[in-house]
Structure 1
Amino acid sequence: MDQDKCIALKRELQTQAEPQVVPLDRFFDGNDDEGSIGCNLVPHPGVPLFRDTLLGLLQRPDVTAVYALISELDPDDDSWPFTDTVLVAGTIQPEALTEALSALQPDYVAFADPDEIGQLGIEPPVVQGVTAWWD
């Protein structure tokens, strides 16, 4: 884990109201902490598979952006911020996202509540999306 990038990310996120949101490329930049995402999976598929699979969604025509919703900003001094939910913005359907994320075994995939999306303060605003959640 790149400590400098971790500290910088935590500082950046501290300026946001909860729930804190970060683009997935920023979330994974310097992150190799398996406790940061999918920590309920045994065996854990690895941060590189999460990164490559989730960022690979950006190649789809029905995906405009992917974000991590931060559940715990500072789980430990030596830990990356923790997310249990990703928001995939665009017109992708839950069934298609479930299939695309099958190797990551999300516990729940569903349309995001438009009112909740609007409260995230994402710029430019996200109109439609699907969330994937790991317990």
Structure 2
Amino acid sequence: MDTSKRNRLIERLAPKPEPQIVSIEEFFDGNDDLGSIGCNLIEHPGMGAFRDIFARIARRPDVTTVYAQIAELDPGEDCWPFADTVFVVGSLSEDELAEALAPLEPDEIWKTADSDIPSDIRKGRDTHVLAVWWD
């Protein structure tokens, strides 16, 4: 883990109100902590798998952007901030996203109601938002 990137991320997000949202690229930049996402998986596919799959999703023409929602900003000195939810903004369907994310075994994927979308994501959005959740 890149501790300096972890510390900068925490310092940047700490003053922001919850839920704290970060781009998926920033969430994975310097992050090799298996406990930071998908920690409920019996056989965690590794941070490389999470990073690569979300990078492919983010590059899709039907995806505008991808965000991680931080559930616990500072879970401990040697831990990266923890995310249990990822938001995918775009026009892809729930089935297409489920297929792309199958190796990561998310617990749920759903189209969010406008009222459930964090304000940082709601701003300027003209497509739907899918949420991905790991228990």
Identify the range of structure 1 (27-36 vs 50-59) with the bigger mean alpha-carbon deviation: 50-59
Superposition map of 1:1-135 within 5 A: 1-117=1-117, 119-122=118-121, 125-127=124-126, 128-135=128-135
Distance 1:81 1:106, change over 3 A: same
Structure 1: distance between partners of 2:43 and 2:19: 28
Under a length normalisation based on structure 1, what TM-score does the superposition of the two structures give? 0.94
Letter paired with 1:16: K
Look up the SS of the partner of 2:35 in the other structure. helix
Structure 2: distance between partners of 1:125 and 1:70: 21
User: Displacement, 1:134?
Assistant: 0.5
Measured against aligned partners, the alpha-carbon deviations of 1:101-130 in whole angstroms (never above 9, x if no partner) come to: 00000000000121222x432385334210
Structure 2: distance between partners of 1:91 and 1:12: 30
Distance 1:123 1:30, change over 3 A: farther
Letter paired with 2:81: P
Q: Report the identity percentage.
A: 47
Structure 1 stretches of 5 or more lacking a match? none
Under a length normalisation based on structure 2, what TM-score does the superposition of the two structures give? 0.94
Instruction: Name the count of aligned residue pairs.
Output: 134
Structure 2: distance between partners of 1:17 and 1:123: 15
Structure 1: distance between partners of 2:48 and 2:104: 11
Structure 1 segments, 4+ long, off by >4 Å, are none
Structure 2 stretches of 5 or more lacking a match? none
Tell whether the 8 Å contact from 2:114 to 2:122 is kept in structure 1 after alignment: no
Look up the SS of the partner of 2:4 in the other structure. helix
Measured against aligned partners, the alpha-carbon deviations of 1:52-100 in whole angstroms (never above 9, x if no partner) come to: 1011112211101000000000111110000000000011111111001
